[in-house]
Structures are given as structure tokens and as C-alpha cells.
Structure 1
Amino acid sequence: MSTVDIQGTGTSRPPEAPRRRPLVVVLAATGIPMFMVTLDNLVVTTALPVIKTRLGASLAELQWFVNAYTLSFAALLLTAAALGDRLGRRRVFLGGIAVFTVASAACAVASEPWMLTAARAVQGIGGAAVMPLSLTLLSAAVPERKRDAAIGIWSGLSGLGVAIGPLVGGAVASGLDWTWIFWLNVPVGLVAFPLAAVVLRESRGGAGRLDPLGLALSTAGVFALLWGLVHGSEHGWYEPATLLALLGGAALLGGFLVWEHRSAAPMLPLRLFRSRAFSAVNSTAFLFSVGVFGSVFLLSQFFQIVQGLSPLDAGLRTLPWTMAPMVVAPLAGLFAERIGPRVLIVTGQALLAAGLGWLALLVSTDVRYAAMVPPLALAGIGMGLTYAPMSTVALASVPRDSHGIASGSHSTVRELGVAFGVAVLASVFTAFGGYGDRTAFVAGLVPAMKAGAAVVAVGGLLAVLLPRRPQVTVR
């Protein structure tokens, strides 16, 4: 270790470790950009009717306003994490903030549907650089004794973004011009960029060099698989383009795994999955996302189609569910070290499955909203107990120099679950009901939510395989 001379006396001491930033400042530097990105996952959905009128968009174009963001975001999460490990995590993170902010302005000035779709795709690219590296940079910037609590607060901010996304979109749709959905990101980005640049320190992972073939195979494989899921839910699962995309995506991801096994410098070291904790938590995360987001997608429409509420009122009705994680996730982070993340994840999955099952038994064409509040809140509490500890386990079960790729892998699995959940539960919905009238919608919603509850319950059973306290077991 190098030393420094003390006032020319000839005596020396090791150089002082870099001074840590206050936790609240680090949380702001990593959490504000992440909140901005998660907000845009759902903010557009409730404003789609207004955007349709203003831009003269078709139904297919409306779907691509949402899907363009989701596809580029999910397909590039793993790639962004790998680039961060090689080129510098803070550098890639700042690049993501800049791209997202500029793309948001481009969305706001779009005058044609294709312009908005293209700008949303670029937004997704920026978001992919922000999301996984936000967690990695946070983990590196706080002492280990505060890490669980910090991840809990970070998860609460992420939950807040998900929670108020439909609410912000509904408020805009009910009063303001739709472009404010995207203009609001610009001042946030202009504040977040210099804050992150000043507060966060550069770090890199263990990758010695880039893995271009791995980058290409993973990005193309995830994109093709997600495109097939989206296309299949809209046009049918036996449509040739759907089958080609799904089979092609599976083949590309299979080729990716084969290459990573043989590569001397893999972007995703498969040895990480030798860890029981890492494998189990990612399996649980996938099933969690399938059940939760597939159900939320349909339930948010229930309030508008069956109960005839405005977009803003529909967003308000979901708050008992979507706001609960903002409160519960930080508490889960605080207690994770004391009681172990396995207890929190298993309990959270059980409460979430119970809440979804309870809602499936309640929903009808004339159900009173007051009766729905307890199961909505129960599902939200379960979601909050699950989200933060899953992120903690994903990082704690791998070496520190693999935190970036572990975070990217975990985020990719969750996003695949979101897309898969929306596609599969929408298919269950259309198999038993449809959008024809209120009765048909409820007829499809009930079995879809039962399916969501069952998927989450299976995730809870898998979470039992987690060790009580995750430890690094791979090198």
C-alpha cells in the first residue's frame, strides 16, 4: 500500500480512505434519477386517450407508445450494467440521465405518432443505464451497516414512482396538456445530472474487457422475446411473426448462455448462479413481477371500464396498493438485517398472494370500493416487504466486483416478468371475457387475478429455498 509523509518527518501512514458522503445526499443522487425512470413506466397509460386525440394516433400506435419504452428499457438493462463495469458505472449512469432527459424533451415536442414512439424508445435506452447502476452505485457509496436500510429507502422511492405514475398521467389527462408528462422530467434531469456527478464516485466491476458477442446476443435475445410477448398478446400466439420472435429470442438467449460458459471474459459470469440465494431470488423476482404487474395492468382498467371513473380517479383508487410499498419498503430494509431477508420475502409473497386472491373473489360489476381497500392495502404491504429484500439478496450473494452485473441481471429478470405477466394474464383475460361490456370484463378479470395470485404463491414457495442470511459463496 502507498504511504504519505507526515510534515516531512520521515514517518508515514497509509492514505486516508475517501470520505463518505451523507446518506441522504447519496440517496438523492441515486434515487432521484431512478424515481424519474420508474415513473415513466406507467405514467403514459392513463393519458393515452388524450394523446390519441391530440396526435390522431391509431390503437396500434397507442400500444407502441408504451411498448417502445418497455422493449428498449428491458433489452438493454444487462448491457448497460456490463458497460458500466467496464467503462465506469458513474460515467454510464450520467450518460443515462442525459439521454433520458433529452429524450423526454423530444417526447414533449413530438407532433406525429412515430416521433413519440421513437423518442420513447430512446427514453428506454437512457432508463436502462440508470436503473441497475443506481442500485450498484448506492451499494458502493454507503457503509455495509447502513446498506439494508439504504436499499429499503431506494426501493420505497422506486415504489413511489410506480405508485404515482398512473396518478400523474391521470392528472395530466384530466386537466393539463399531455406534453407535461414529459416536460416534468427535464428540470428533474437538469438537477439530477450535476448532483450525481458531484456526489458519486467512479467505480468499475471485475470485467477486464468488453464481451461484444455477449452484448449482441443478450440484447437481441431479450428484445426478440419481449417483442414476441407483446405481439402475441395483441395478434395471437400462433401468428407466424409471434412464433418466429419467441423461438428466435429463445435461441439467441440459449446461444448467449453457451457463449458465456465458454468466454474467457463473460459479461454475465454463469458461476453467479451457483449461489442458491442468487438463483432463488431471481426466480422469485420473475414470478413476483408476473403476478403483480399483470394484475395491476388489468385492475387499473377495471376502475375505468367497469366503474366508469376518470383516469385521475382510477389512479387514486389504486393508491392503497401502490403507495404502501413506499412506506413498507424502507421498514423492510431496516429490519432485514435483524430478522433476515428470507422471512420478509416469504411473508411478503404470502400477503401479496392473499391480497390478489381476495380481490379475485370480490370484484364484480357492482362491488363497492370500500370493500376493495383492505385487499388492495394487503397486496401493497406484501409488495413492500418483498421488493427491498430481493435487491439486498441479489447483491449480498455475489462478490462486490460483480454487483453491477448482478443488479443488471436482477432488473432484467424483473422486467421480463413484467412483460410476461401482462401478456399471459391478458391472454387469460381474453380467454374468459373481454372488453365488450362490464360483465365481460369482470368475467375475464376474475380468472386472470386468480392466476396472478397463484403465480405469486409459487414465488413464495421458491423463496423458502433462500438461506436465512445470504453469503457470498462464489468467486
Structure 2
Amino acid sequence: MNDTDEKTKSLNRSMVCLCAAELVMMINTTAFNVALPNIAESFGASMAEQQWIVSSYNLVFAAVVLLAGFLGDRLGHLKTMIVGLAMFVIASVIGLAAGNVPVLLVSRSIMGAGAGVVIPMGQALLGILFRDSELSRAMTAWAIAGTLGVPFGPLVGGALTATLGWRGIFGFDGVVFLAVIVVIHMNVSQVSASHESRSLHMPWMSVAMMFAGFTLFSAGLVNAQHGVLSMDAWIPMTVGVALIVGFALHDRASRNPLMELGLMKDPSFAACAPALMMLNFSMYGIIFIMPAYLETVLRHDALIGGMLLMPLVVASIVGARMNDWIVSRIGSRGTSLMALGCLAVGMLTIGVAMRLPEGMMEQSMVMVGQIVAGFGLGVGQPAMLTWAMGRVPVEQSGAGSSLLTVFRQFGSIIGVGIFGSIQSGLYATGFQSLARTAGLSSQSAGSVMLDFQQAAGFTDATGDAIRQVASHAYESAMLGSFATAAAIIAVTLGVVALLSRRVSTK
């Protein structure tokens, strides 16, 4: 075997191992969301507490990701990635022992930190190992690995929750992430394009401003479920935005920046950032809202609820597989714009389905919406990542990947926050209105899961009436949530088109 063949085999092994890390992390994310109704029932968690359980992961992820890029470009991307994987093992042990929501928040926060390290380091390693046409192949494999985690997550999470309870997910995570650490350590070579002379001095002011900004903004979004104009919603959001802007200005003027904002001068890179943000906005919004609909409103168990998300996943895999073919015909820019269009149409379709008569027609429309949105997710991610990372200098691979990942995680934060707040607010209003019409108490327990629990304490007729009111209120709220999401994605599509109108993306 010649050196070229050996090098190709080594690169392929590295790509498979890095994609395996992405796969198990996505399994972790979607498995946990499927188990969320059971966790909420176990701890009696309100919608706000559920939002924080999910948002804590995304919040810490966003706060850590730039720091990961900073360290990866200086200490080595592979070493930094293995540290991130070890965080998942530690968090799994804490999650197994969790007896209340605060401890669970700690576990999910540590996992978020781990993900904030692993994802940008994985993308950076691929960006260093593969260049030009091979980069598209590597990013497509990365996207498919992440997409495959979506079906495996609900299936694994559903099976574990049904047999071992939700704690089984944390036990699964601990074992699997240990195995991934061993496999990556054995098969991925330490590579780095960093300059040894680059400063290792930590820009703590930038880290603190960014973390505080994202925390306050997320807190405002969660509180917005009680009213967007309430002081505990708009004040934290306003202060959070001010801190994020202040962080960007401070970091830009710093001699030791945490974030390479200069990369945003490239129109292609700048266009990809909000486009990728919408991918996570859509995916996290869907997997936050849909499990309660599938498991509580439609009364399926966690395993069946996970299987009913399969159309989204299969369509994502098909879209990722067709990426190269589509890009070769309409370019990265056209593919990215098409992906955003599919997301907007898919979201709107799921929302409109809630206005149809219950039964096969409603479920068929939900399936169509999942397929269209899933295709957009699948075809969009590799096209956008290849388009953006192809513009990043090799020595800034970690910083470039981290900057893109920050935008993606901000999409996750606003996805859970906007979906959760709109859904909760509309649900409470709808429940009160429908309950009064039905002659029932208009007091909601705060979420559809808790209202179903509350219904169990009444006689059959009253309990059935409460469940029916809660189901209709949740479906009505889904229309508002998904229609709002479609509008946000459509506006972003226009922004991306405007930013990239003068660039060649073939």
C-alpha cells in the first residue's frame, strides 16, 4: 500500500470518528427532549422550568463555544475536543443522581459546555484535514451524522425512558461518551494549524460580558411567556442585548480577541451566519414543541412519539445526500436560500395542520410539514458550512468554526425561547377561554402535561373535558408558534439574499 492510500485511509478514519462524536451528541439532545414530558411529570416542572432545562444546555454552549475556538487554535483542536467529551461523562453521572430541577440544570449545563467544545473542534478538524472539494464531502458526512442523531435520539430515548425511566438516558450517555473518547484518541491524529506565538492570556472580560448577555437575554425570553411587555421580560432582554453588543465592540478593539469578527467582512461568511442560525432555530423549536403534542395531546408513549418524528429525519438525510447534486446546479447561495424557503414553508404547514379536523388529515399535513422542513435542514447545513468554512484561513479554523457555532447556538436559544414563550402564552390564554366556554375552571397548571395530570384527579367526565380543552388549546397555540417561526425565517431569507447578492458561490 502506497503512502497516498494510507493517508486517504487515515483521513477517512478520522472523518468517521469525528462524525461519530457529532452523532452521539445529537442522540443526546433529541433523546433528552423526548424524555422531557416524563421529567416534567417526575419533578412537577412548569413550562418555564422546562424551558430552562433545555435553554441551560444551549446557553452554556453559546458561552463556551468562542472560548473553545480560542483555546483550540492555541492548544490543539483534538486535545480540546477530548476535554469536551469528558464533560459529557461527568455530566451524565450528575444527571443520574439528580433529585430535583436545579441538579438537573447543573448536569445539562455541563453537557452544554461539552457540546460547545466538541462541535466547533470537530468542524475545525475537518476544515484542517480536508480542503477544496474534499471539504464538501466531509461536511456532508458531518451533517448526515448530526441528522442521523435525530431519529436515533427519539428511538433510544423513548426505549430507555419506557424501560428504565428518564435516568436511563444519562447512564447511556456516560457509557457511549467514554467509548467515543477512546475511539477518537486511537484514530484521530493531533493536528493543529495554530501559531505557537499566539497569546494564551484569557480575555475574561469578553467571556463574562458574553455569558451575562446571553443569560439575561434567555431569562427575558423565558419570562416573556407571562407577557412580552412585562418588566421581567423586556428589561433582561434589553440589558442582555446591550451586553452582547458591548462584548462585540470590546472584543473587536481588544489586542487579544475572543472572537474573530474580521471574518464577517467576507460576504459569504456573513450570509451563512444568520442562515445557520435559522437551522438551529427551526430544529430546536420543533423538538421542544412537538414531543408534548405527540406524547400528551395525541397520548402516545415516548417511543411512538419519537417514531412520529421520523419524517423530519428521513427528509433531512435525503436532503443531505442530495446536497452535492443541488449545489452543483444552483450553487451554495441558491441551495442555502432554497433551504431557508423549505424551512419557512414546512413550519407554516405544521402550524396550519392544527386548524384541520383531528385525525388522518391533520396528521398527514403535519407529516408533510416535517418532510419539507426536514429537507431544508438536511440540504442546508452542509451547503452553508462548506460555503462558510471554505472562506476561512486554515490558521483561523477554530475561530471560524466557533463563530459560526455561536450563531447556530443563538438560534437554539431563541428557538426554545420564542417557541416556548409564544406556545406557553397562547396556551394559557386559549385554555382559559375554552375552559370558560365549557363551564370549567379557567385555572391552568401552566403546561399541557401538568393540566393532564390535574385532570386525573377529577371524575371521568370532568377529567375528559379538561383534557379536551388542554389539547385544543395546545394545538391552537402551535399554529401561532409555527406561523411566527415561518415569518422569522422568511425575513432571514431576505437578509441572507441581500448580504450575498454580489458573491459567487459556485
Are 2:55 and 2:416, in contact at CA under 8 Å, matched by a contact in 1? no
Counting only pairs closer than 5 Å after superposition, residues 94-113 of structure 1 correspond to structure 2 as 94-113=82-101
What percent identity do the matched residue pairs reach?
Answer: 25
The corresponding residue for 1:437 is 470
For 2:392 and 2:56, locate their aligned partners in 1 and report how far apart those are by CA, in whole Å: 32
| Distance apart, 1:90 and its partner CA | 1.3
Deviation per CA, 1:36-60: give whole Å up to 9, x if none.
Answer: 2222223222223433555x45436
For 2:372 and 2:319, locate their aligned partners in 1 and report how far apart those are by CA, in whole Å: 11
Counting only pairs closer than 5 Å after superposition, residues 215-254 of structure 1 correspond to structure 2 as 215-233=207-225, 235-254=226-245
The corresponding residue for 2:69 is 81
For 1:339 and 1:253, locate their aligned partners in 2 and report how far apart those are by CA, in whole Å: 36
Q: Which amino acid aligns with 2:338?
A: T
Are 1:35 and 1:157, in contact at CA under 8 Å, matched by a contact in 2? yes
Query: Secondary structure at the residue paired with 1:202?
Result: coil
The corresponding residue for 2:459 is none
The corresponding residue for 1:388 is 382
Q: Which amino acid aligns with 1:215?
A: V
| Distance apart, 1:250 and its partner CA | 1.7
The corresponding residue for 2:461 is none
| Distance apart, 1:232 and its partner CA | 3.1
Deviation per CA, 1:99-125: give whole Å up to 9, x if none.
Answer: 112221321233444333222221211
Deviation per CA, 1:127-158: give whole Å up to 9, x if none.
Answer: 21101111111121224321101101101111
Are 1:99 and 1:123, in contact at CA under 8 Å, matched by a contact in 2? yes
For 1:74 and 1:230, locate their aligned partners in 2 and report how far apart those are by CA, in whole Å: 17
Counting only pairs closer than 5 Å after superposition, residues 353-432 of structure 1 correspond to structure 2 as 353-363=344-354, 364=356, 366-368=358-360, 369-429=363-423, 430-431=425-426
Equivalent position to 2:190, from 178, 194, 201:
201
Are 1:21 and 1:141, in contact at CA under 8 Å, matched by a contact in 2? no
The corresponding residue for 2:163 is 175
For 2:166 and 2:283, locate their aligned partners in 1 and report how far apart those are by CA, in whole Å: 27
Q: Name the CA shift for 1:449/1:58 in 2 (closer, same or farther; >3 Å).
A: closer
Are 2:63 and 2:207, in contact at CA under 8 Å, matched by a contact in 1? no
The corresponding residue for 1:5 is none
The corresponding residue for 2:20 is 32
The corresponding residue for 1:131 is 119
Greater alpha carbon shift after TM alignment, 282-291 vs 86-95:
282-291
Are 1:221 and 1:249, in contact at CA under 8 Å, matched by a contact in 2? yes
Q: Name the CA shift for 1:203/1:456 in 2 (closer, same or farther; >3 Å).
A: same
Q: Name the CA shift for 1:220/1:454 in 2 (closer, same or farther; >3 Å).
A: same
Deviation per CA, 1:339-392: give whole Å up to 9, x if none.
Answer: 521121122222222222233332235041234333321221122111111111
Deviation per CA, 1:409-445: give whole Å up to 9, x if none.
Answer: 1111112112212322344433473545222222222
For 2:154 and 2:328, locate their aligned partners in 1 and report how far apart those are by CA, in whole Å: 33
The corresponding residue for 1:271 is 262
Equivalent position to 1:190, from 178, 192, 201:
178
Q: Name the CA shift for 1:87/1:241 in 2 (closer, same or farther; >3 Å).
A: farther
State how many pairs are aligned: 453
Q: Name the CA shift for 1:425/1:225 in 2 (closer, same or farther; >3 Å).
A: same
Q: Which amino acid aligns with 1:343?
A: G
Query: Secondary structure at the residue paired with 2:346?
Result: helix
- Is residue 460 from structure 1 mapped to residue 493 from structure 2 by the alignment? yes
Q: Name the CA shift for 1:309/1:117 in 2 (closer, same or farther; >3 Å).
A: same
The corresponding residue for 2:249 is 258
- Is residue 347 from structure 1 mapped to residue 338 from structure 2 by the alignment? yes
| Distance apart, 1:335 and its partner CA | 5.2
Question: Normalising by the residue count of structure 2, what TM-score does the alignment of the two structures yield?
Answer: 0.81
For 1:47 and 1:90, locate their aligned partners in 2 and report how far apart those are by CA, in whole Å: 31
- Is residue 114 from structure 1 mapped to residue 102 from structure 2 by the alignment? yes
For 2:342 and 2:259, locate their aligned partners in 1 and report how far apart those are by CA, in whole Å: 33
Q: Name the CA shift for 1:116/1:297 in 2 (closer, same or farther; >3 Å).
A: closer
For 2:420 and 2:261, locate their aligned partners in 1 and report how far apart those are by CA, in whole Å: 33
Query: Secondary structure at the residue paired with 1:226?
Result: helix
Q: Name the CA shift for 1:100/1:351 in 2 (closer, same or farther; >3 Å).
A: same
For 1:439 and 1:181, locate their aligned partners in 2 and report how far apart those are by CA, in whole Å: 31
Q: Which amino acid aligns with 2:218?
A: L
Query: Secondary structure at the residue paired with 1:201?
Result: coil
For 2:94 and 2:420, locate their aligned partners in 1 and report how far apart those are by CA, in whole Å: 31
Deviation per CA, 1:300-340: give whole Å up to 9, x if none.
Answer: 33223432222222221111012321332143146535652
The corresponding residue for 2:437 is none
The corresponding residue for 1:9 is none
Q: Which has the higher helix share?
A: 2
For 1:42 and 1:254, locate their aligned partners in 2 and report how far apart those are by CA, in whole Å: 31
Counting only pairs closer than 5 Å after superposition, residues 144-163 of structure 1 correspond to structure 2 as 144-163=132-151
Q: Which amino acid aligns with 2:74?
A: R
For 1:22 and 1:468, locate their aligned partners in 2 and report how far apart those are by CA, in whole Å: 35
Greater alpha carbon shift after TM alignment, 149-158 vs 284-293:
284-293
For 1:118 and 1:416, locate their aligned partners in 2 and report how far apart those are by CA, in whole Å: 20
Structure 2 segments unaligned to the other structure (5+ residues): 432-447, 449-468
The corresponding residue for 2:79 is 91
